[in-house]
Structure 1
Amino acid sequence: MLLAVAREGRYTGAAERLRVNHTTIARRIDALERSLGGRVLVRGAAGWVLTPLGEHAVAAAEEVERAMRGLSPDEPALAGVVRLSATDGFSGFIASPAVAALRERHPGVSLEIVAATRRAAAQRVGVDLEVVVGRPHVHRAEATHLGDYVLGLYASRTLLERRGAPASVDGLAGEPLVYFIESMLQVDALDTARRSTRRMVDAVSSTNVYVHVDATRAGAGYGLLPAFLADRHDDLVRIFPDEIEERLPYWLVCRPEALRQPTAVAFIAALRGRMAEVSDALLGRPSPAG
C-alpha cells in the first residue's frame, strides 16, 4: 500500500487504485511505520511525499513487484489508470493514438484526459502528467521537452474565392482572424505566436483548437492553426508559409511520484514514440510518402 500512495501522492487515490477504503490505507501505513520505527510519509504541498526511510521501503517494494511480474509472464505486465492534463490538439493527435498503441500490448492500461490550454499547475493534484506549450517553471516536478510543432495561417478555399487572396502579409490588416480568446489565454507562447496577425480583427475566438479548425473551414476567417490539424483538410490552404510560421514546444511535466508508476513510465515512452512517428506532420512538412 505504501507503493500505491507513493505513486498517487494521496491516500484517496491509492484507495481507488487498490479498491479499498482510504482508512484502510491509513491503518496499514501506520502499522508499517510502527514496524520500521519511523515515518515513511510526510505531508507536502501537493500530497504525501516519501521520507528517506520511505524511499528505502518503496525501493524494496518495487523489487518485489518486479519479481512478481516475472513469475507471471503470461499475464498483462501493466495495468492501471494514467491521468493526463494536456491541450486539446495534443490530447487528440498525440495522446490518444499513444495510449491505443500501448493498450495493444497492455489492455489493462487506461487513460483519463483533462483537456486544457494553460500553464503548468503549481500543484499537480489529480493528474500524473501534464503537457503544456512553452517551457514551464515548476518546483517538485520533472519537466522535459517532448518536441515542437508549428502554427501557420490557413484559409478555406471558399473564403479565398469569396474575398480574394491577400497579396502580402500587410494585406491581412483588418481581415478576420480565428484564434484563442485573447483575454482568457494563459499561455505566453501562444500569445506571442499571434505577433504576425496583430493587425487582424478577431472573428471567432475559442479556448478549443478544434473549434478554430472548424470555424476556419466554415469560412469564418483566417485561422492561426497547428499544421498537424489543418494540413489534414484539403479544403484549407496555408498562406504565406515562409513569413507566418510559429514554432512552439511541447513540454511534459511529471509528479515525482508518477515516475514510480510503471504504467505512467510506459505511457511516456508511448508519447515519445508517437511524437517521433508524426514529427513531419507536427512541423508542417510533407510526409515522405506524400
Structure 2
Amino acid sequence: MSSPAPTGPRRPPSADDLIVLLAVAREGRYTGAAERLALNHTTIARRIEALEQALGGRVLARGAAGWVLTPLGEHALAAAEDVERAMRRLSPDDAPALAGVVRLSATDGFSGFIAAPAMAALRERHPDVTLEIVAATRRAAQQRVGVDLEVVVGRPHVQRAEAIHLGDYVLGLYASRAYLERHGIPGSTSELAGAPLVYFIESMLQVDALDEARRPTRGMVDAVSSTNVYVHVDATRGGAGFGLLPAFLADPHDDLVRLFADEIEERLPYWLVCRPEALRQPTALAYIAALRARMAEAADALLGRGRLA
C-alpha cells in the first residue's frame, strides 16, 4: 500500500506517473498494470507513491475487488488521459489509429454470437485492438475491476457507471426432432407438466430476468441444468428434454423444433455497463460502436424472426 503523502513542498506530477495511474485505473490491479506497461509490480507501486506525493493525497483506495480511484485520483485521471491523447498524436501517421486491449464480461451466448464477431469486424480496420472476454451470467457488478465493459441480461442497477440498452433477444421452447418422434408432440402447454426441462441451474441463477423467464415451464422437471447456455443447446439437440433456449442459438439447427411460439416467448434485454473511464477511451468507444452494429445486423436472429441461412 502507498505510504502517507508528505506535507512539505511538492514537485509537479510526472507524465510517466500519470500513465501508470491510467493503467491501474483500467486494470484494477498493480499486476495487471505492470503487465500492460511492461514494468514490474514494484515500479508501479513506486510510481503511484510518487504521484500521491506530488499531488498531496491518495489517488487510489482498496475496493472489494481491487484498486479504485479516489476523488483526487479521478481528477488526476483526466490529466492522464490528456497525456495519453498527446502521445497518440505523436505516433507516426502510418500507425494504426487504435490499439490496446478491451476487457469484456458477458454471457456465453452474447460472447460468442455478438462480442466476438464485433471484435473481428473492428480488427479489420484496427488490427492492434484485441479483446479479452470473461464469460459469466450474473448481475452487473457494483465495481468493475479488471474489465472495461459488462453485458448483462435485464436492466442493471449500478452506481458510478453508465448503462446502455443494446437490444433484446427471445427465449423459446425447443425440442429435437428425434425426441419428439420418440415421445410425441405435446398438444398444449398443459401437457408439459412433469416433462424434462433443459435450462439454468435454478439455485445458482443470479439474474432475475432469466429466473422469471422460466415461469411458463414451472411445472416441468429439471433434466439437464447448466450455467452455460451452449450446454443447453447441445443437451436439447441430444434429446435430454425440452430446452428453454435463445432463438439466435437454437434456430440455426434444423434438428430443433420450436414449440408453442405464441404462448412461450420471453423477450429479454441486453444491457451494456461501462466504467466512466472506459467511455473516454477511443478503443472502448470504437468497440461499443461495433457491438451496436453487430446487434443491428443480427436483430432478426436475436428475436427469432426466421431461421438463419
After TM superposition, the score normalised by the length of structure 1 is 0.90
AA partner of residue 291 (structure 2): L
Is 1:212 the counterpart of 2:232? The answer is yes
Secondary structure of the structure 1 residue equivalent to 2:277: helix
Secondary structure of the structure 2 residue equivalent to 1:210: helix
How far apart are residue 236 of structure 1 and its match? 0.8
Computed over aligned residues only, the root mean square deviation of the Cα atoms, in angstroms, reads: 2.1
How far apart are residue 198 of structure 1 and its match? 0.9
Name the structure 1 match of 2:60. 42
After TM superposition, the score normalised by the length of structure 2 is 0.85
AA partner of residue 39 (structure 1): G
AA partner of residue 272 (structure 1): R
Is 1:136 the counterpart of 2:156? The answer is yes
Q: How far, CA to CA, are the matches of 1:202 and 1:7 in structure 2? A: 41
Secondary structure of the structure 1 residue equivalent to 2:111: helix
Q: Deviations over 1:193-243 (max 9, x none)?
A: 001111112111111111111111111111100000000111111111111
Gaps of 5+ in 2: 1-19
Q: Deviations over 1:91-131 (max 9, x none)?
A: 11011111111111222222111111111223322222211
Q: How far, CA to CA, are the matches of 1:252 and 1:94 in structure 2? A: 12
Contact 1:7/1:260 (CA < 8 Å) preserved in 2? Answer: no
Is 1:263 the counterpart of 2:308? The answer is no
Contact 1:7/1:259 (CA < 8 Å) preserved in 2? Answer: no
Higher relative contact order (CA 8 A, sep 6+): 1
1:188 paired residue among 195, 205, 208: 208
How many residues align? The count is 287
Q: How far, CA to CA, are the matches of 2:186 and 2:211 in structure 1? A: 24
Q: How far, CA to CA, are the matches of 2:195 and 2:260 in structure 1? A: 15
Q: How far, CA to CA, are the matches of 1:148 and 1:202 in structure 2? A: 26
The within-5 A match list for 1:87-98 is 87-98=107-118
How far apart are residue 49 of structure 1 and its match? 0.8
Secondary structure of the structure 2 residue equivalent to 1:82: strand
Instruction: Determine what percentage of the aligned residue pairs are the same residue.
Output: 79
Is 1:13 the counterpart of 2:11? The answer is no
Gaps of 5+ in 1: none
Name the structure 1 match of 2:14. none
1:177 paired residue among 192, 197, 218: 197
Contact 2:28/2:146 (CA < 8 Å) preserved in 1? Answer: no
Q: Deviations over 1:156-211 (max 9, x none)?
A: 11111111111111121122111111111111111110011111121111111111
1:102 paired residue among 107, 112, 122: 122
Is 1:69 the counterpart of 2:99? The answer is no
Deviates more, 1:6-15 or 1:148-157: 6-15
